[in-house]
Structure 1
Amino acid sequence: MRLTYLTNHVSPYRVSTLAALSRLTDGMNLLLTGSESAPELEREPIRIVKVPSLQIARVRHHPAGYDEKFELHVPLGTLGALLREESCNVFSVELGLRTAFAALWRKFGRNRRLIVHADLSEATERGRGYARLLLRRLLLRHVDRVLVNGASGARYLQTLGCPPDRIGRLPYASDIAHFQWIPDLPAHADNEGPLRLLYVGRLVEVKGLVPFLDRLANALRARPRQRVSLTLVGDGDLAAAIDAVDCPANLTVQRIGAIPYEQVPDHYARADVVVMPSLGDTWGLCVNEAMASGRPVLGSVGAQAVDELVIDGVTGWRFDMQAPLTLDNAIARMLASTPAERAALGRNARRTAADFSPERIAVRIIDAFQHTRGLPPISEAIPPATEPAVSVAGPRRAARLSGSARPPT
């Protein structure tokens, strides 16, 4: 089949999924309504068509109390570009104006299929305006299938009247090979160094870093003999607020700034635990990357990746940023964990991440189109990639696990 992929931007970590998807088609065109994309995309056998679009900078105040900066795209050239395409299969990455033009293309043609990736969750969509909700309800009647990142996105679409049998799952993927070289965590500490925490992503309000850092600092004031270091990889307008947090002497915070994507695995390799304290994320790809690196995740269920991938006591520790006591509890359990327990959690995490490779996510997209045409899924020929993960209940259980067997909005 030939495929047209409609989006506004392709980040470096999405290139591997697009490359895997193109290999499953007889030809794939990328209609790009944004001005920039990852340069790595140019090396893939994908025809890129730049579509004229008006971009308007906006700020949205979320009901949870944070401000979110974004760009509103008015993709004026989308319908004309779609009409020039030879493909009768369109995959649109959003549930807004681009998809509205794609729905018109579908309506006035024969044998055309439109599948939408709705990159959203209940947390991110709280407080949306009436006009946007009305447009989404209308669009859901004129698409063949909708794919969401996880259960939260599916529940949100059902509130808009989308039938459950038209909703499929399409979580984010990261290039597992990028992180496979990273060794598992050692089961025994070689030195008396600090517990090394890592955050990878934008330094913006929605990521919850300042309230997380406040609670972590309070926990360490009660544990003056325990040392922790937190490394922040990324940049954003919250840098000054992070620097202003009053941290005790046994907590050091280092900001690395933005770095090339190929350097990111080096930081995962040096970490003991990866943190993701998001107030609301449609996914949170650092969770995939951490787990592919064999690192447990201390994460907020406000990030859909945590809600979908992190099992408390199995691949990390979960909490809710809207319930501070759950955060305190998760931090306490993380601080009390032994190297053997963290190593066992990391091995479980690595096994879980194997099912979220670019190739498997690409297969889900093709299967969605197969479903709309009454054809069998190609995934039936692909065996499962993982074994069941094992719960880590304490030091003795972790010791038994130590001999057992790991790819930023």
Structure 2
Amino acid sequence: MPKILCVTNMPVPYREKVHEIVSQTLNSDYLVIYCAKLEPNRQWKFKYGNYDKIFLADVSKGYIHNNIAIWRALNRSKPEVIISTGFNPTMLYAFIWSILHRAKFIPFTDGTYDSEKKLSLIHGLVRKIVFFKSYAFIGAGNGSSQLYQSYKIPNNKIFKSCLAIDNSLFKKSTSNKEYTLMFSGRLVEGKMPFFFVEVARKVKELTGNCNVLILGSGELANEIGAMLDGYKISYNMPGFIDQKQLPNFYPKSKLFLLPTKGDAWGIVANEAMAAGVPVITCEEAGVANDLVIDNINGYILPLNVDIWAEMIVKILSNDELYAEFAKNAYTHVQKYNFKSAADGIIDAIDFTFANLK
């Protein structure tokens, strides 16, 4: 029976290899329980990793997982440590189980202080209770550390498990840059695709030309296409792109734009930087001041169309500056890899076993 058990929403391509490494390091003494195979807003198709896993029957309503069957799975497994990546009812059942059976609990979040600062009193209270009874804390980046620190969690109990992709799949290219600007993500309000279009409009106004590449699907796709047509901006919108095909697109763009109303991270920035493409984003993105460093491998700017367009023109009109940003983007993202992500989880587990009360 596994000593370590992880409860999480669903398989995601950027965590499969991480689970494999953790499982191998722990000599397969590791089990992942998934609440669902796929959530409604995802179209991913990928091969699962080689590690022990269980899929609970999907009885969720949208993104809210509430399945008491987790209790039976825990009774069978009898883990000594439970890692949980959220606060859905299914995961809270695992937390209660850990209290009753004296298992050690480790919360794992991609959330940030900014993304969770508007939580309701009840959601905040739940986190306070869970954190009070937890032994170690795992987060995806600096924003997650700030979140834990806001609950008075000491730094020595906080471990980083970065969000990563297979950087080796994305080849750096300095030629064949067909597109001025690139966007990748779900075409919904929260991802701010209209802001992207307005920035492209302003860049065209300032320079006379702007070709854009937009990857992703969503409810706003037709409206976005109509806006681009109206502005007479040359564009390519191939829709949703399978994970295996993504590396073919990023190297074709000069700059990647990541506007958002509140991405906990923004894994698309990893993909762009792995292809040597500088990223422009905002403070609302989890990658800001972590993966994306202002004036080093991109820009972190207020959500103002004129400011974004001005900085885009600045970097694209200076070949030396652009080459430096592109090199720094490619170099910096190499630190964000599956091994590093797995090490953060393993360190949290080791810390927990070494400090049992």
- TM class by shorter chain equals 0.7 to 0.9
Deviation at 1:126, TM superposition (A): 4.0
Q: Secondary structure at the match of 1:222?
A: helix
Q: Distance in 2 between matches of 1:364 and 1:241?
A: 42
Q: Distance in 1 between matches of 2:334 and 2:206?
A: 38
Q: Secondary structure at the match of 1:356?
A: coil
Corresponding pairs, count: 349
Name the counterpart of 2:33.
31
Are the aligned partners of 1:315 and 1:345 in contact in 2 as well (CA < 8 Å)?
Answer: yes
Name the counterpart of 2:59.
54
Are the aligned partners of 1:220 and 1:250 in contact in 2 as well (CA < 8 Å)?
Answer: no
Name the counterpart of 2:308.
327
Aligned-residue CA RMSD in angstroms? Answer: 2.5
Name the counterpart of 1:99.
91
Name the counterpart of 2:168.
177
Are the aligned partners of 2:251 and 2:275 in contact in 1 as well (CA < 8 Å)?
Answer: yes
Name the counterpart of 2:4.
3
Are the aligned partners of 2:159 and 2:345 in contact in 1 as well (CA < 8 Å)?
Answer: no
Closer, same or farther: CA 25–361 of 1 in aligned 2, 3 Å? same
TM-score, structure 1 length as denominator?
Answer: 0.78
2:352 maps to a residue whose letter is: T
Asked if 1:311 is matched to 2:300, the reply is no
Structure 2 residue aligned with 1:254, among 236, 245, 255? 236
Asked if 1:77 is matched to 2:78, the reply is no
Structure 2 residue aligned with 1:370, among 336, 350, 357? 350
Q: Distance in 2 between matches of 1:96 and 1:162?
A: 22
Deviation at 1:264, TM superposition (A): 0.3
Are the aligned partners of 2:143 and 2:286 in contact in 1 as well (CA < 8 Å)?
Answer: yes
Asked if 1:263 is matched to 2:245, the reply is yes
Q: Secondary structure at the match of 2:107?
A: strand
Deviation at 1:140, TM superposition (A): 0.9
Are the aligned partners of 1:30 and 1:49 in contact in 2 as well (CA < 8 Å)?
Answer: yes
Name the counterpart of 1:219.
203
Closer, same or farther: CA 52–22 of 1 in aligned 2, 3 Å? same
Q: Distance in 2 between matches of 1:246 and 1:349?
A: 28
Name the counterpart of 2:111.
120
Name the counterpart of 1:351.
331
Asked if 1:153 is matched to 2:144, the reply is yes
Deviations 1:162-188 (A, max 9, x none): 444433322201112222xx14325xx
Name the counterpart of 1:205.
189
TM-score, structure 2 length as denominator?
Answer: 0.88
Deviation at 1:373, TM superposition (A): 2.3
Closer, same or farther: CA 329–160 of 1 in aligned 2, 3 Å? farther
Deviations 1:313-357 (A, max 9, x none): 221122122x5554344333234332x432322221111111111
Q: Secondary structure at the match of 2:133?
A: coil
Q: Secondary structure at the match of 2:227?
A: coil
Deviation at 1:296, TM superposition (A): 1.1
Deviation at 1:216, TM superposition (A): 2.9
2:34 maps to a residue whose letter is: L
* Pairing of 1:290-301 with structure 2 (within 5 A): 290-301=272-283
* Aligned sequence identity (%): 21
Deviation at 1:217, TM superposition (A): 0.8
Name the counterpart of 1:243.
225
1:46 maps to a residue whose letter is: Y
Name the counterpart of 1:21.
22
Q: Distance in 2 between matches of 1:205 and 1:169?
A: 30
Deviation at 1:256, TM superposition (A): 1.0
Deviation at 1:82, TM superposition (A): 1.5
Q: Distance in 2 between matches of 1:342 and 1:221?
A: 21
1:214 maps to a residue whose letter is: E
Closer, same or farther: CA 360–152 of 1 in aligned 2, 3 Å? closer
Name the counterpart of 1:337.
318
Q: Distance in 1 between matches of 2:333 and 2:226?
A: 35
Unaligned runs of 5+ in 1: 58-70, 376-409
Q: Distance in 1 between matches of 2:297 and 2:180?
A: 17
Closer, same or farther: CA 39–310 of 1 in aligned 2, 3 Å? closer
Are the aligned partners of 1:217 and 1:247 in contact in 2 as well (CA < 8 Å)?
Answer: no
